[in-house]
Structure formats: C-alpha cells, structure tokens
Amino acid sequence: MKTETRLLRAEPASDAGFASLAVPVTRASTIVFPTSDAFERRYEQFYDGYTYGLYGTPTSRTLEARISELYAAEHCLCLPSGQSATVLALSALLKAGDRVLVAASAYGSTRTFCTDMLAAFGVEVVLYDPTIASGIGALIDDRTRVVVVESPGSNTMEIQDIPTIVQAAHALGARVLADNTWASALHCNPLDLGADMVMEALSKHAGGHADVLIGALVTRNEALFRRMKDVSRLMGLGVSADDASLALRGLQTMPLRMEREGVSALTLAHWLIGRPEIARVLHPALPGDPGHHLWKRDFRGASGLFSVELAVPYQNSTSSFVDALRIFRIGASWGSTHSIVTPQVPFRSNGGPGSTSRKLIRFSIGLEPVEDLQADIEAALAVLSAGTTHSVRKHAVDQRELQKEER
C-alpha cells in the first residue's frame, strides 16, 4: 500500500484506558458498514442507531438522551435551531385542508411561519387569545390537527392554562405542541401537563453562552417521534456534533445559571414596579401578575426573562433609555451569561386577538451581580427622566417665548 493510501486509512489510536469526563465530539457525514448486507439494512437502525452523520452521531444522541431524561420522556430529536424544530413539527403534522391554532403571544417566527408559509400551503391558521383556557374548544373543529401553546408568551409573558387547553384539544382529536423555551425542563414540564410534544430552543438556557443554535423536540409518543425523525431526513435537518457538545457542556451549569438569573430577575422586577418611569412589569412570578396563579400551579421556578412597559410620558424615549444602558447589551435572544436588552418588542402586532401598537422593552438577565444591573438600569432611567424634564421645561420656555411675542 502506498503512503497516500495508508494516510487515508489511518486508524485512530486505541482509547483503552482513556476515561475522560468530557463527551467526545464525533464528526461524520459518511458512516461505514462492515458488509453490503449491513448497508442495505441500515434503515432498520435509523431511529436509534447510526446510518449517516445527518441522522445522528454519538454526540447528538448523548444530548438527545440528556434532554429526554430531563423531561422524563423516551424520545428527543435535536435540530439545528429552535425555529427549525417548530417548522419540522408543524410541517410533519399538518397538510392542506387542516387547521392549526396558534397562541397570538407565541414567538414571532412561529406565528409568521404559520401565517405566511403554512397558509400558502392550504393550512387554515387561527391566532387565539393565549388566556382563552377552555374557550379554545369553540375554535377546534374536525379539521384541527394541532394547537400550539407557548407559556409564558415570548414578550408579553401570558401564562396559558395548558392542562385545560390539552383537555379540550384531546377531546376533539387535536395534538398540543408546547414551546417550553422560557421555562426549560427545569422549571416546567408540559408533557406532565398533557402536551403531546415539547419544543425547547436549546440555543437559550441550555447553550447558555450565546454561541450555539439547537432546538429539541421531546415526546413520550413513539409514533410521533418516528414521524418527526422521518420528516427530518426528508427536510435534511440534523445537528453538528460540535454544537451538540456545546449544548452538553451548557447543561452542566444550566441549573446554577438559571437559579441565579431567576433570583436577579425577580429582584429587578420587584424594584422596577416601584419606579415612576415604569408603567408595568410583565413577569409571571410577580404576585400581581394576571397569570401568577397558573404559574404557581404549573411551574417550579422562573427564568431570567421579563418585559417592562414604560410610563406614558417616556414611551417615545425608549431608545434614549436603552442606549444609556452600559452593562446590558442590545440584541435578540436570551438565556446567555450576558444580560441582554431587546428594545421595542411589539406588545402584540400580529392582527390576532389583543393586537395593539404598544411596545415593550425585554430584559434577559445574565450572571452579572444584580447590584451592577440595578445601577445600570437606574442610571439609564435617570437619563430618561432628565430628558423628559428637559423637554417639558423646553416646552414651557417655548410657550413663554410665544406668549411674549404675542403680547
């Protein structure tokens, strides 16, 4: 055998005696088989074995096993992003002529995928009021295949009565898909509340460092899992071993990070309620929140994401406030070690129930000491009231000048 061929056929060194705490990163597109017969029968092991890198590697299977365990479920399928997981689930369950119900408070791209793409493929899309509870029954007809819940809503934080919605949906033969990204498996398990499948964007709390994108679909129903897996192959969706290993690393510290972020977020939320610049703090763990009783019943904890609405005199000065923040960085996404502020998220602008042009500011609390975060917000609020005082004064001066001229 020539040198070139020998290099191409190099066998890895033996791993006997190598016991690392880290999950190995196993990259592959091609997976080789010992015989042509084994290759021809490869799809027998499609769901839990290895056939092609896109359909799973030991690293991605390890991640799927961890996530399944967190949800006390048998099946998990990881996908390249939370959005691709939602798209896969809905595409696999719906066809032309069906109807899907989507919470009007759901993640923006979930709603838009339904209203733009699914609608174009002949699926009837109904956006419903997230606080509808048993009223959902009136929207479910015999063409309704799926009800999408997301609790709390991405920006507006309404808690949904998942058990009641599940009961109504199942009574009429519809399945419930729950986006559980805010809570993660640590704070809520929608499968225990009756949902058929959970979607969690592992890009958020599990990844935890704003540097990886992965989504997970989790279910206790084997037929549903197999359907997802089949469609993931047809859509060409799989996760890289490198990304899966980052998510596995993130999971190790997720409980500690989420505990810290939750405590800091609640401290800030309570403090912000008392500030005159703030009209409303939207956080389901606050006793005054409209969804608080449901949150207490169905959740074990709160994550670090919440929104505020500025008081009326300051509503046009959102950018001065956000731009004055120094520790909070401006951007989308959440669940990272860094605190993030998302300016001007629409309260509800989707034409669904409760649509309004009101805007919110969303905070994702990171691991910085809460004193630093509070000081940062306090300084930015001072800019806000200084700006308004200035413009109020300027307005008064202008008025006086005008009156003088008139005299």
Ligand X SMILES: *Cc1c(COP(=O)(O)O)cnc(C)c1O
Binding residues for ligand X (CB under 6 A): 81-83, 107, 150, 154, 179, 181, 201, 203-204, 213, 215, 333
Quote the least distance from Cβ 331 to ligand X, whole Å: 12
Which alpha helices (H) appear in 41-139, and where do they start and end? 58-70, 82-93, 108-112, 119-120
Neighbouring-strand partners of residue 282: 307
**Residues 386, 314: contact at Cβ < 8 Å?**
no
Task: List strands edge to edge, sheet with 305-310.
Answer: 278-282, 305-310, 356-364, 340-348, 329-330
Question: CB-wise, 198 or 224, nearer to ligand X?
Answer: 198
> Is 107 or 321 the residue whose CB approaches ligand X more closely?
107
Q: 82 or 366: whose CB is closer to ligand X?
A: 82
From 288, 331, 286, select the one nearest 306 (Cα to Cα).
Answer: 286
Compute the least distance from the CB of residue 365 to ligand X, in Å.
15
163 burial class (0-12, 13-18, 19+ CB within 10 angstroms)?
middle
Shortest distance, CB of residue 357 to ligand X, whole angstroms? 22
Closer residue to ligand X in complex, CB, 57/81: 81
Q: How far is the CB of 340 from ligand X (least distance, A)?
A: 12
Closest CB to ligand X among residues 235, 311: 235
Closest distance of CB 350 from ligand X, Å:
15
Cα distance from N-terminal residue to C-terminal residue, the chain: 105
Sorted by sequence, the CB contacts under 8 Å of residue 62 that are 6+ apart come out as 23, 244, 248
Between 75 and 111, name the residue whose CB sits nearer to ligand X: 111
Helices (H), 280-331: 292-298, 318-324
User: 309 forms bridges with which residues in the sheet?
Assistant: 280
| Closest CB to ligand X among residues 265, 278 | 265
Give the DSSP H/E element, type plus range, for residue 387.
Answer: helix 370-406
Q: Where are the beta strands (DSSP E) in 225-295?
A: 278-282
Minimum separation from the CB atom of position 1 to ligand X (A):
46
- Token pair belonging to 205: 């709390």
Neighbours of 167 (CB within 10 A): 15
- How many CB atoms within 10 Å of residue 48? 10
Of all residues in the shown chain, the one whose CB is closest to ligand X is 82
- Least Å distance, CB 401 to ligand X, is 50
